[in-house]
Amino acid sequence: MLRALARRLATIAPTLVGVVIVTFLLTRVLPGDPAAYFAGPTADQASIEQIRASLGLDRPLPVQFLAYVKDLATGNLGSALSTGQPVLTELAARLPASAELTLTALLLAMAIAIPLGILAAVKEGSLIDHVCRVVTTAGVSLPVFFTGLLFVYVFYYQLGWAPAPVGRLDVFFTEPAKVTGFFTIDALIAGDLETFRAAAAQLVLPAATLALFALAPIARMTRAAMLSVLSSEFIRTARASGLRPGTVIVAYAFRNAMLPVVTTLGMVFSFLLGANVLVEKVFAWPGVGSFAVEALIQSDYAPVQGFVLAMALLYVALNLLIDLAYGLIDPRVRLES
Amino acid sequence: MSNLDVSAALPQPLPEPAPAVIEQPARPAAGFAAGLGHARYVATSNPVTGFAFALFFVIALAAILGPWIAPYDPLASDTAAALQPPSAAHWFGTDQIGRDIFSRVLVATRLDLTIAICSVALVFALGGFAGVCAGFFGGWTDRVMSRVSDTIMAFPLFVLAMGIVAALGNTVTNIVIATAIVNFPLYQRIARAEANVRRDAGFVQAARLTGNSEMRILMTQILPNIMPIMAVQMSLTMGYAILNAAGLSFIGLGVKPPTPEWGIMVAEGAGFIISGEWWIALFPGLALMIAVFCFNLLGDGLRDIIDPQRRT
Amino acid sequence: MDRRAFLSSASAMLGAGVVGSGLPWAQAFAQSRQDTLLLISENGPNNLDIHGVGTNRPGYEASWNCYDRLITYGLKTLPDGSRSYDKDVIAPELAESWTVDATGVTFKLRKDATFHDGTPVTAADVKWSFDRAVSVGGFPTVQMAAGSLLKPEQFEAVDDHTFRVTFARPDALTIPDLAVIVPAVFNSALVKKNATEKDPWGLEFTKNNVAGGGAFKVAKWTPGTEVVYARNDDWKCGPLPALKRVIWRTIPSSGNRRALVERGDADVSFDLPAKDFAEMKKAGKVAVASTPISNGMWSIEMNVTKPPFDNPKVRQAIAYAVPYQKIMDAVLFGEATPLFGAASNTPDDLTWPRPTAYATDVAKAKALLAEAGFPEGFETRLSFDLGQGIVGEPLAVLLQESLAQIGIKAALDKVPGANWRGEMAKKSMPFIINFFSGWLDYPEYFFFWAYHGQNAVFNTMAYKNPALDKEVDAARAAAASGDAATYAASVKKMIAIAYDDAPRIPLFQPHLNVAMQKAIGGYAYWFHRQLDYRTLTKGA
């Protein structure tokens, strides 16, 4: 087991090296001159050069890269010029916001897509099956920024059901004491129901926007997994021995279909984490995605590098966990070398 | 692990796709005729797929004929008729500088399809070939290709696409390249898995025994056999390619104005939704959605046609 | 907790959220809202210190409200009833009084003023702060130099409450330049305590902490999200502000900002697009204010070192091809001051910015282009700043269409923010749509930056004309010596030369638009185009 783990870790190393190099190169070939941008409106060439030197951008690329690697090794990801804060601080402060949004969206999507997928599998080829297919496909066919704006227009501006899209919490609430960084959970821990409601209300629209996008993969997965389980021997046996159809589907088939679904949820999660960039922008959500977009537009290298690196680490770690969990749950699956 | 398919929305590949069931030498002509018959069967028996085919026909028609049947010049401004709601004269209304939205949506079809088709063709060629080589030859080819895929996959897809377009400059070509690159791992992995299970299949062994070179076997035996699965994938990623271009436009990295393109039109119209001019974003948004929707359904339908055993 | 129970509790949690969101939030907190201002805008500060590296515009606002200067500008009521700063009235802030002599100016500081930590403000603090502004480089140093404030030797703390500035040269802008944001007074002891060897001026500390004595303190700052200000109850440099708290939220989407203020969830929405402003004004649900941005204009700029823009006839042809009125209607919804269609390019008074004599005339444009040797037109690239796309993009599209009528094929080039500054500095763009405004509201100041042969970054045209430079220099000298007649003659001449030669085609003077709830009072326009919280009030 340990040897397998070591082997698995060894396959990660080249990926990480690749990520560091690609990130560095990508951000350095971005056109534009951050020195000129941050030197301010009335700067002359001399003050631009001063800024350039202070940013270390006047050194040759290999030197910049070595400096970058050295900084990485010491946990220094540089400062975000757009907010003026160290990138590590920014990412740490914003990651819970993105994670809370993404997780809520994932749970929401699961709550809808899993029953839908089961239903579609049980009634394969029926109207429900087609409806399920059409609805989930429609969900994934909408550009998320368009859905988000539409939701704001209808549910906030026209109907007034949703609170103002001002970020994670209405202005007149104070943030709950930080435990997990998830406002809803922290508010519950603090026993502050009002704040919990406010935070949850802010989550609804952006989470729904994102969830719509995640419906299709989860519903399809569930349907496929259910179909293959439903046609297996032990279900036929269970049915033949006269168990109620509901019991067969929920207690036997779904339990067994759950494993592949859960596995792939990990990937849906990381996919959503990357895709919520646009949703965060529409809803003024202070997450890592919107932070990275802003930085990219301004050729602000450090946050882009930090963000991409953090995402890459998250993704690699997630997959590692899933692999390991899978190996533990199902001994027949051996770790790939 | 059973053979799932979530790839419609999920450009990351699944945990290793399972071996395909069909194991036969390529018989292009016979396969085509049978496929056509099956297509008719699927299109008529599955109303959703039939609908998708009909939709695709309409979209293709709009792409081909768009510039000729558009009632107005999609680029001509008319500030006296700016921001008009849909009417008999302007079916989809007009935008901020008075351009006819119906004409723009219609004319944009060609560009959007071109972006999607080019990027999918590019990634099919690159990723498909890289994957087949990796799966067929194994060894260091496989290791290098897999590491390249791993590296690309470790990036958040949309952000990587943004980075590429920002770095190379925002032109249509670069959108195509960026979309192709972010989809590379998907194609590479599927092709690799499919080629891998076939490398020692009976018909391949037979070809080897009759003295064919490895490269020849790859081209004549392996490639044609994995084509159907790749075709399904292409249809599914077409939709993603269009969405990707639209997302890039939304943050200002898309196609250049004043070229009509659905994504940039939605982005332009986004600022007008709250002030009540919903039609500017809605119609291009709907066109975008319908096209992506059509490609996704079509992907499902194609899978049904090509590979009935793998139906999900 | 097993999986299913977890799922059902999760959906219950979401359900609660939906029910909860039906509550009228605004009413539930009416009490705390009474003396709190909720402000929204597109961007938030990246640095609380105007001297910082790359401090953005919202950062200017934080500095303006949290720090004091020696002097400030007075306020005046404009003909339309709105209020604005008055460039002709210098008012006391930290300085109680001052006397100007031939070689310098001596300020008497207020004796009761303290910094936020209670330390009294002394002349030594002022000296240290001014030394810092002229020494740190970058924007603050350039801005100080614009008023001939060049080196630390010019500043002297005579005693605890007397401070003297020695003039480097006669310059009419020296005293006005002391009332802009840059010469803010810092708590020198506090900053020095937090300075390091690498960072002798303590820029890292002041980036995140206010070390001043202004009317507001920063109670909490979440970069990129919000700034919460609390009133400094011990403020002595002016009447105590009515607002006890200001919450400033960043809302990137303009649609959301509009919805928030229209539905009464936000008190003030600052710097709105012209369209939202025009429609909100018409709807009448909220109060709106719009002030022409002083000394600012949008214009079309052609790099005269890049043919065919070296030919004045080509430039004039373009000036006659611009669809001015279409731009006013479709891009600005009428909410801007037109800068075209005057009787003559030669001014009859000193109003600035002022209209040119150009108007849309395609036949004349074609004739001029043929005269210049381009009867068939030519191809070029028209660039605009992505960050200003809301005006720039439709404007560029309209201009592109009109230019096509005279045979000029212009490819549009949207340049992202960072690149824009860089390209501007390199003067690599042949043909651009641009906005420029000067803080100090004098025509010769505008010309010095935007037309003068010193070729500053804002002279994007790389325009060098000795005849024009002579008039600009003469106007600056006449202003310094108080020679009104020479000044007027030179200003008129430089405007006429610039407009006739047309390296830059003025389009319109934009307005700074603000929407606020009707209960909000005391709004005034400032040269820095940011919000001053000190005069704002909030009624019942």
Which pLDDT value is given to residue A59? 80
Mean pLDDT score, C221-227 = 85
Q: Which domain-ending residue is among C138, C155, C190?
A: C190
Which pLDDT value is given to residue C89? 94
Highest mean pLDDT: which range of A193-202, A293-302, B148-157: A193-202
- Residue C513's pLDDT band (cuts 50, 70, 90): very high
Residue B309: pLDDT above 60?
A: no
- Residue B32's pLDDT band (cuts 50, 70, 90): low
| DSSP for C224-280, written as a single string | TTEEEEEE-TT--SSSPPS-SEEEEEE---HHHHHHHHHTTS-SEEES--HHHHHHH
In a domain, C149, yes or no: yes
Q: Which domain-ending residue is among C158, C190, C222?
A: C190
**Contact present, C423 and C415 (Cβ < 8 Å):** yes
In a domain, C47, yes or no: yes
Highest mean pLDDT: which range of B57-61, B63-67, C530-534: C530-534
Task: Tell which wins on pLDDT, C443 or A242.
Answer: C443
Is the minimum CB–CB distance between B289 and chain A shorter than 8 Å? yes
A294-303, pLDDT tens digit by residue?
A: 777 666 777 8
- Residue A194's pLDDT band (cuts 50, 70, 90): confident
CATH value at residue C60: 3.40.190.10
C460-501, pLDDT tens digit by residue?
A: 999 999 999 999 999 999 998 889 999 999 999 999 999 999
Mean pLDDT score, C152-174 = 94
Please tell me whether residue C222 adopts helix, strand or coil conformation: strand
Q: Which domain range does residue C39 map to?
A: 3-65+214-267+517-538
Which pLDDT value is given to residue C483? 92
Residue A264: pLDDT above 80?
A: no
Mean pLDDT score, C400-410 = 94
Distance CA C155, CA C124 (A): 10
Question: CA C339 → CA A322, C12, C292, C300, C398, distances in Å?
Answer: 65, 60, 12, 12, 17
Task: Based on the fold, state whether residues C60 and C123 are members of the same structural domain.
Answer: no
Which pLDDT value is given to residue A37? 64
Helix axes A87-122, A255-282, angle to 10 degrees: 130
C139 CB burial (10 A radius; 0-12, 13-18, 19+): buried
Task: Based on the fold, state whether residues C179 and C308 are members of the same structural domain.
Answer: no
Residue B83: pLDDT above 80?
A: yes
- Residue C313's pLDDT band (cuts 50, 70, 90): very high
Q: Between chain A and chain C, how many beta carbons pairs sit less than 8 Å apart? A: 209
Task: Tell which wins on pLDDT, C269 or A124.
Answer: C269
In a domain, C209, yes or no: no
In a domain, C155, yes or no: yes
In a domain, C287, yes or no: no
- What's chain C's average pLDDT? 89
Residue C353, preceding bond cis, omega within 30 degrees? yes
Residue B56: pLDDT above 60?
A: yes
- Residue A220's pLDDT band (cuts 50, 70, 90): confident
In a domain, C197, yes or no: no
In a domain, C469, yes or no: yes
Which pLDDT value is given to residue A43? 61
Distance CA C349, CA C305 (A): 32
Which pLDDT value is given to residue A1? 60
Which pLDDT value is given to residue B26? 45
Task: Based on the fold, state whether residues C149 and C37 are members of the same structural domain.
Answer: no
- Residue A33's pLDDT band (cuts 50, 70, 90): low
Which pLDDT value is given to residue B258? 86
Q: Tell me the nearest-neighbour CA distance from B71 into chain C, angstroms.
A: 19
| ipTM of the complex as predicted | 0.75
Task: Based on the fold, state whether residues C147 and C255 are members of the same structural domain.
Answer: no
Task: Based on the fold, state whether residues C422 and C311 are members of the same structural domain.
Answer: yes
Task: Based on the fold, state whether residues C220 and C184 are members of the same structural domain.
Answer: no
Residue C142: pLDDT above 90?
A: no
Mean pLDDT score, B68-83 = 88
Residue B19: pLDDT above 70?
A: no
Task: Based on the fold, state whether residues C344 and C439 are members of the same structural domain.
Answer: yes
A51-78, pLDDT tens digit by residue?
A: 777 777 778 888 888 888 888 888 788 7
- What's chain B's average pLDDT? 78
C109-138, pLDDT tens digit by residue?
A: 999 999 999 999 999 999 999 999 999 887
Task: Tell which wins on pLDDT, A79 or C343.
Answer: C343
Asked if C54 and A164 come within 8 Å (Cβ–Cβ), the reply is no
Mean pLDDT score, C66-88 = 92
- Residue B34's pLDDT band (cuts 50, 70, 90): low
Residue B311: pLDDT above 70?
A: no
Question: CA C312 → CA C114, C372, C433, distances in Å?
Answer: 58, 8, 18
Task: Based on the fold, state whether residues C505 and C521 are members of the same structural domain.
Answer: no
CATH value at residue C465: 3.10.105.10
A 10 A CB-CB count for C242 gives: 17
**Domain count across chain C:** 3
Task: Based on the fold, state whether residues C95 and C146 are members of the same structural domain.
Answer: yes
Q: Which B residues 213-242 touch A at CB under 8 Å?
A: 239
Of A50, A111, A163, the CB nearest to C138: A50
CB-CB neighbors (< 8 A) of A29 in chain B: 167
* pTM attached to this predicted model: 0.81
Asked if B292 and A141 come within 8 Å (Cβ–Cβ), the reply is yes
Ordered domains of chain B (ranges, CATH)? 51-73+92-310 (1.10.3720.10)
Asked if B257 and C416 come within 8 Å (Cβ–Cβ), the reply is no
CB-CB neighbors (< 8 A) of B11 in chain A: 271
Task: Based on the fold, state whether residues C59 and C136 are members of the same structural domain.
Answer: no
Task: Based on the fold, state whether residues C93 and C182 are members of the same structural domain.
Answer: yes
Of B6, B157, B273, the CB nearest to A274: B157
Q: Tell me the nearest-neighbour CA distance from A15 into chain C, angstroms.
A: 31
Task: Based on the fold, state whether residues C418 and C499 are members of the same structural domain.
Answer: yes
**Cβ contacts of B45 within 8 Å, gap of 6 or more:** none
